Structures are given as C-alpha cells and as structure tokens.
Amino acid sequence: MQIAKSYEAEVTAVCSTRNLDIAHSAGADRVIDYTREDFTRGERRYDVIIAVNGDRSPLKYRRALSTGGSASW
C-alpha cells in the first residue's frame, strides 16, 4: 500500500472490521469491510488487485478489474 501511495495511486484496502483503522492509518484512501460489502459485486473497477488472502475465485477478482487491469493472487 505504501509503495502504491508513493506513486500517488488511489488505494482501496479490503479488510475485516477489526483492521479498518490499521488500513486507514497505513494510507488507504478507501477501506472496504469485507464482512459488510463484496467489492467484486460493486460498480467500481480497479486497475490492480493484489489478493493477499485470495479468498475469492479468480473470476470474481477479474469482474472487479478495469479494462486492461491486472491481478495477482
């Protein structure tokens, strides 16, 4: 996250409720609580998705990618 921010990227973090404050303090512009919202079903598209825990199928992650975006899981 901090590397992305150093390149002035807009960063969205997806984490559990207990980690929301940590994600904000680490520099996330937007934080999504995955216990309340499935970011792969929303309207927003992302240029890069780095799935650290990989708890969703690759197809769900791809649905959330912008055209030409890339993902790593």
Q: Tens digit of pLDDT for each residue in 36-63?
A: 999 999 999 999 999 887 778 888 999 9
User: Would you kindly state where each structural domain of the chain is located, as residue ranges?
Assistant: 2-72
The single-letter DSSP state of residue 54 is -
CA distance 60 to 25: 28
Alpha helices in the chain (DSSP H): 2-6, 20-25, 58-63
What superfamily does domain 2-72 belong to in CATH? Answer: NAD(P)-binding Rossmann-like Domain (3.40.50.720)
Two tokens, residue 20: 């929301």
Enumerate residues 6+ apart whose C-beta is below 8 A from 44: 12, 64
State the pLDDT confidence band at 72, using cuts at 50, 70 and 90: confident
Give the pTM.
0.85
Tokens of 35: 């216990």
